[in-house]
A and B are shown apart, each in its own frame.
Chain A
Amino acid sequence: MTLPRAYEDRLVERAKTDAEAFGELYDHYFGQIYRFVYSRLRDQSAAEDVTSDVFFKALRAIGRYRSSGHPFSAWLYQISVNAINDHYRSKRPVSSLDGAIGVADTSRAVVDRVVDQVEAERVWSAIDTLPPQQRTAMTLKLGEDLKLAQIGEIMGKSEGAVKLLIHRGMIGVRQRLGVTVTVQEEA
């Protein structure tokens, strides 16, 4: 269920002073935010911790929220990105580059291998090893299906910069999965 934009705007305004309205926003966006956080952390306990952090931060800051023409979710994702980064800063990533590429098997088609849960884990572990901004852009695009413009709003970057991050990220994943690709590196 998608909230009509005008309704969402009113709801957000009400949520600045009305717990029930904030609860409604929570009900609507919890799933998205949790999925995004989980996509980045792939650990249920950590995802719960960070998701809690995101919504508490949102609750405390919503009084200062000003609509910038983008969906409210963009703001929540911004908070989520920061919270995830904070999480990583306080705790080293559990996945390593070696772990991500250690079992690469190029004898099978990569697409076929993703039917395997272990392979799915391995693919997203490769994303974990990307530089943070590439990681975020990749997750928002491929994990959350957001528009490039929305990702740019969340990350404070232009659409072109987001494209660059995703392009580089995809190359990095490809390399980490043991598939050699030849591309023209961006400046």
Chain B
Amino acid sequence: MPPRRGRTRHNGHGGRVGDVPQAWLGGWFDPELEDLFRQDPALQRTAHMVRSARPEADPDPDFRSRLRRSLMAEAQRTGAARRRRWFFGPTHLAWGGVGVGLAAAAATVLALFTGQQPDHLTVEALSNVSAQHSVSPNDVITVSFNQPMDQAAVVAGLHVQPATNVETAWRGNDLLITPVHHLAGNTPYTVTIDRAHARTAGGTVARAAIQISFGTAPSSTRTITPEPPGLTIQNVGAIAADASVLFARDGSLVVTSAAPPAGTDSTPQASAGAGAGATPSLSASASPGAASASATDTVAYPASGAAPVVLGASASAAAFSPEGEVLAMAVPQPAGGSALVLTSATGTTSSTLTRSTSEITSLAWSTNQSIVFATSSGTIRSVDLTGVSRTLSEQTSAASIQLSPGARYAYLAPQSGSLGGQLLTIGSAKLETLAGSATGVAFSADDSTVAWIDQSGPRSLLRSESPGTGAPVAVAPLDLGASLSGVALNPNGSQVAYVERTAGGAPETVVAQLPSGAAVATGPGASALAFSPDGRSLALAGTGGAALRAPIPGAAQLIAGGLPGAARTALQAFVDAQVSGDTSVLTSLSTDAAGAAAGTPSGLTRGYVVSAAANPDGTVTANAELIVDPTAAHPEPSKLDETLTLGRGPDGTSYLITSLVTDGLHDESPGPHVLGVSTAVEHGVVVVRVTFDSDLDQTTIPGSIRVALTAGGAIDAPVTYNADTRTATVRLDGSPGGPISVLVAQTLRDVDGQVLASAFTTRVSL
């Protein structure tokens, strides 16, 4: 390093070095040292010598940039919790009266101006969203200046990336930027005011452009999508309080407790014992052990609208056999305990299979020949159709036990007042805590998915996961802040139904997709919910004592070869874990060969699954995108595209990531990007939806978005565009006749004229 002589430099504390620069021994003078060594000129000269010889320190610019990036990544990774606390803190409400009401959320954006008046030497611009990563898509972006600006110039220099139509307004020195169609969810944004346009009312121009970087939270579906359609409710009959509902294979709706319909026969008598055989055999002989005639019965309301049928006495639990021919019911006995009664789906024959001295609280068919039941004493037992019974597990500490439909799992509810029940894998006795759960978990009919309400935080959260993986995903409820209850899953875990109640509002039933939480339909509140075996209808135990049923509008048919709900859930949980850096979850959701932890960069801000498709061999191929939000130091978002392959786990129901291929983090190209591709069969029509992050130039959509057979061959189908959701919809008239792919060409442009960032193609599953 060359020596420095007589060089002055800013000391960083309010003035030039020494405050009183004087010509002394080559240009440097420190009055404190001069005073200190006033009596010793030799030491004065030594001081000057040392000062003059101080090492030149010219840091490597690359090092400076690298360190900054590392610090920003660390700050963003560790700052979220602090930021949340600060968000509500009073400290920053004081500044200058700017952004009142929004200042609590204000982070810094700074533009320095050269001005003549000392008070206006620095112009500060603060935004309510800057450097935040979970901005509500509904938020208005506020940029608050500390002095009057040239309003027309500032607005003229305003740009939003991804391209977004905005409306602007001024409130004093605050610029209010309102997106016309809301912001896209889970998306990094950069708002820029060009340097040349960032000027004060007095004409002073900024030294640099104003740039605000932030990211949005995953969409709240109510605010982003049009209001979901209402369920078309059909009142099918009466139901007692606390009764449950279930569907028979033929579509009849069964309620486990209801007043006997007028004009029906009383409870059929059940025989003692049941014969062995491939299917349960039932007789019509009398059984003294069956429940006595009661005020309520188990009643079936036929789908045809025919007269209701009494299937037996009121039951504490009931389940149809896998083939749907036989209904097993747990009938409480007057002297205590339960009788496990089998009845035909038509209710014409009945028999008692076994009895339990403790009340049976849950039952499920593990096979067509075997029933598993749980009792109030904490015993889980199986009994086959010959009456041979054995104890599978004793869980005496559980407040109650709920079995999964396939009897692979049992939910062990915590004692009243506690949270965090456990999921027991019955075969292996493995236990897993379902965070924040109390009562009322739900399983899909194929046991591939479990959903529950996490009540551990200030807000109820809906969570779902592949049982046993320990990797739940959070499902955004329709209304954040609502209390949730009555969760039910459709047969393959691709949809969930729940009841939400907002403060002061009426309860509402919501049917939503998993794991996105996107609402499919809403309806009146209910005390219990159940999906039909084909997933196309919902049964509701209405709060007014009525059993209700409703077709689910737009419900996807459960098509063989479709994308299983368990795969969707595993995918989302895996991408979530990549973003959070949870290596234990990455490991539990992937095979060793996938190298998931090593293949995932650190410092990610967000990620999402773009598309997924089932393969003929049972595996699933998916595309996901991982993003690092822009910062002041790095104004472009960084992204990483990855292709994931999923295969069935050892248990045969869950999915694991078996391979992961990424292209490495790189700057995101400008222009619109595809956020996601989804498919559904609605009223017999295959519907493909492609969602973008940018407001599109609608004139460029025709011809730019196409659907084709994966094997080759274009499919001629009209494309419509919903500007509010930035979604293009392709409706295929008739079956495509094979796997299909979605293609988006770079002829597509956004409202700013930018072309699609890169040509897009993906294969999709129905």
Contacts and interface: CB of A to CB of B under 8 A. Distances in A.
Given A20-B130, A39-B55, A166 B91 contact: no
B336 interface: no
A28 B59 CA distance: 14
Interface stretch (B74-82, B665-673, B696-704): B74-82
B179 interface: no
Contact of B631 (A1, A20, A48): A20
A55 B67 contact: yes
A10 B59 CA distance: 28
A26 interface: yes
B71 A14 contact: no
Given A19-B76, A23-B633, A183 B13 contact: no
Interface stretch (A84-92, A98-106, A144-152): A144-152
A185 interface: no
A145 B57 contact: no
Interface residues on A, range: 35 or more
Q: Which of A114, A174, A183 has the most CB of B within 10 A?
A: A114
Contact of B3 (A44, A116, A179): A116
A20 B73 CA distance: 11
Interface in A92-151: 110-111, 114-117, 119-121, 123-124, 127, 138, 141-148, 150
B79 A120 contact: no
Chain A binding surface, main DSSP class: helix
B241 interface: no
Interface in B1-33: 1-5, 9-15, 17-18, 25, 30, 32-33
B368 interface: no
A145 B15 CA distance: 11
B108 interface: yes
B46 A174 contact: yes
A93 to B, nearest CB: 15
Contact of A174 (B5, B42, B51): B42
A55 B67 CA distance: 9
Interface string B236-261: 00000000000000000000000000
A75 interface: no
Interface string B32-45: 11001100101101
Interface residues of B, number: 69
B14 A2 contact: yes
A156 interface: no
30 contacts: A5-B14, A10-B95, A17-B83, A18-B79, A20-B107, A20-B109, A20-B213, A20-B632, A21-B107, A22-B71, A23-B631, A28-B12, A32-B12, A34-B59, A48-B60, A51-B67, A55-B67, A56-B71, A120-B3, A123-B50, A124-B54, A124-B55, A141-B32, A145-B11, A145-B30, A146-B11, A146-B13, A163-B36, A167-B36, A173-B50
Interface of B: 1-5, 9-15, 17-18, 25, 30, 32-33, 36-37, 40, 42-43, 45-55, 57, 59-60, 63-64, 67-68, 70-72, 74-76, 78-79, 82-83, 85-87, 91-92, 95, 107-110, 122, 124, 130-131, 213, 631-633
Given A143-B54, A170-B37, 5 more contacts: A20-B108, A23-B632, A55-B67, A71-B12, A117-B1
Interface of A: 1-2, 4-5, 7, 10-11, 13-14, 16-24, 26-32, 34-35, 38-39, 42, 44, 47-48, 51-52, 55-56, 59-60, 63, 71, 73, 110-111, 114-117, 119-121, 123-124, 127, 138, 141-148, 150, 163, 166-167, 170-171, 173-174, 177, 179, 181, 183
